[in-house]
């Protein structure tokens, strides 16, 4: 069913868009404007309109900030705002940020103190983003990122978390409080349900630290053992206690694997080198359990991809009819591709 306000109003919107210079995505701009005008007939109260208005403005601004860096991979760093300078875990976060930048990545943090500050300071001002949140306590933009054009301050947690996940290519979680747990479970839920792209999720702590092993044991004993998640879901993240290992895991994930997307019912996995016959045979022999039907096949870019992602046309593809629920196993497929 077309999303319309009637031909007369639709034509006025098209004219208005053209007057503003037009866009390759005129249809979506028109839908956004149509949604705003449809609110008139819904008679929402002012509070509801303020939520919609603020969320749209926050997202628009954040996307503008990230746009010039879209081709640089990024790592989001989560962890406690209360970890003090000099604490082993703070120093580890500082070291990790510095070393992952050396691998060609940028960092994203919540722009606050503690682990967030370490993630900004270690990366250096030119290589880091800060996504702040306006709170009545505990949260202010740290000195390592304050005043930088790559700082975005949010009113709402939900818009902030959307940008955290959308703009990143890996997540590293250091020990933290409710916020860190919230972010960890949200990210894992998004990946588990296919609402976020596959990516490395690393739980990093100092050698001998018990925070993440105890957390994983809880997931195993109370979620996995009782059937609330599958055993493969525990493969969506990894516990590590070494900065070098963490950097290696992230770099390795993108060694051959580039990205993926759905085109209709087909999952398209883009890779940096042409898949060998042995790789395809191995995928079909050992990972067919994630297929709804058919087999893994090598492909060129599909027509739908050429239309809106022409920069990726030259990458080879592995295409399959993924069952859309075995995302832990899909992670294993990506690891197998990277081992080819």
pLDDT at 105 over 70: yes
| Residues ≥6 apart with Cβ < 8 Å to 47 | none
| Cβ-based neighbour number of residue 249 at 10 Å | 19
Backbone angles phi, psi at 301, to 5 degrees: -60, 135
pLDDT at 138 over 70: no
Judged against a pLDDT cut of 80, whether residue 225 lies above it is answered with yes
Q: At what angle do helices 26-42 and 46-66 cross, to 10 degrees?
A: 160
Which ranges of 147-210 would DSSP assign to H, the alpha helix? 157-166, 178-192
Residue 161, pLDDT score:
96
pLDDT the model gives residue 307: 75
Summary mean pLDDT of the chain = 95
* pLDDT score of 73: 98
pLDDT band at 332 (very low <50, low <70, confident <90, very high): very high
- Average pLDDT of the segment spanning 199-219: 98
Tens digits of per-residue pLDDT, 35-65? 999 999 999 999 999 999 999 999 999 999 9
| Cα separation, 268 vs 297, whole angstroms | 10
Say whether pLDDT at 241 is over 60: yes
Confidence of residue 135 (pLDDT cuts 50, 70, 90): confident
**Is the alpha carbon torsion for 187, 191, 192, 198 positive or negative?**
negative
86: left (phi over 0), alpha (psi -120 to 50) or beta: left
H or E stretch at 47: helix 46-66
Global confidence as pTM? 0.93
- DSSP per residue, 89-139: HHHHHHHHHHHHHHTT-EEEE-SSSTHHHHHHHHH-GGGEEEEEE--SSS-
**Tens of pLDDT, residues 282-313:** 999 999 999 999 999 999 999 888 877 888 99
Phi-psi region of 6 (alpha: psi -120 to 50; beta: other; left: phi over 0): left
Residue 139 has pLDDT above 90, yes or no: no
Residue 303 vs residue 124, higher pLDDT? 124
Would you state the pLDDT for residue 16?
A: 96
Reply yes or no on whether the pLDDT at 263 is more than 90. Answer: yes
205 has a pLDDT exceeding 90:
yes
How high is the pLDDT of residue 251? 97
Q: How far apart are CA 180 and CA 173, in angstroms?
A: 7
User: Is residue 296 within a helix (H) or strand (E), and if so which, with residue range?
Assistant: strand 291-299
Residues contacting residue 105 through CB under 8 Å, at least 6 positions apart: 72, 73, 74, 75, 169, 170, 250
**Residue 79 DSSP class:** -
pLDDT value at position 306?
81
Residue 258, pLDDT score: 97
Percent of the chain exceeding pLDDT 90 equals 93
Taking 70 as the threshold, does the pLDDT of residue 103 lie above it? Answer: yes
């Amino acid at each position: 069913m077309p999303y319309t306000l009637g031909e007369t109003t639709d034509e006025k919107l098209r004219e208005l868009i053209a007057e503003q210079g037009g866009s390759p995505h005129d249809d979506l701009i028109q839908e956004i404007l149509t949604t705003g005008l449809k609110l008139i007939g819904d008679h929402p109260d002012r509070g509801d309109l303020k939520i919609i208005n603020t969320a749209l403005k926050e997202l628009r601004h954040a996307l503008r900030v990230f746009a010039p860096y879209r081709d640089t991979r990024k790592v989001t760093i989560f962890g406690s705002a209360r970890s003090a300078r000099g604490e082993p875990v703070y120093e580890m976060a500082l070291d990790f940020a510095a070393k992952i930048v050396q691998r060609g990545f940028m960092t994203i943090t919540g722009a606050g103190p503690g682990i967030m500050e370490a993630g900004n300071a270690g990366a250096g001002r030119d290589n880091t983003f800060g996504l702040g949140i306006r709170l009545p306590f505990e949260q202010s933009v740290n000195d390592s990122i304050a005043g930088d054009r790559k700082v975005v301050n949010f009113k709402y947690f939900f818009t902030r978390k959307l940008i955290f996940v959308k703009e990143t290519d890996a997540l590293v979680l250091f020990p933290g409080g409710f916020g860190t747990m919230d972010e960890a479970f949200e990210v894992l839920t998004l990946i588990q349900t296919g609402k976020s792209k596959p990516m490395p999720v690393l739980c990093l702590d100092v050698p001998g630290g018990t925070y993440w092993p105890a957390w994983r044991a809880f997931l195993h004993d109370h979620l996995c053992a009782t059937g609330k998640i599958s055993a493969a879901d525990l493969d969506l993240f990894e516990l590590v206690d070494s900065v070098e290992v963490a950097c290696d895991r992230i770099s390795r994930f993108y060694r051959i694997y580039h990205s993926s997307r759905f085109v209709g019912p087909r999952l398209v996995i883009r890779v940096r080198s042409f898949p060998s016959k042995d790789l395809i045979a191995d995928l079909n022999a050992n990972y067919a359990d994630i297929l709804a039907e058919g087999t893994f096949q090598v492909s060129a870019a599909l027509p739908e991809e050429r239309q809106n992602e022409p920069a990726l046309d030259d990458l080879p593809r592995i295409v399959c009819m993924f069952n859309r629920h075995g995302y832990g196993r899909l992670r294993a497929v990506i690891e197998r591709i990277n081992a080819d």
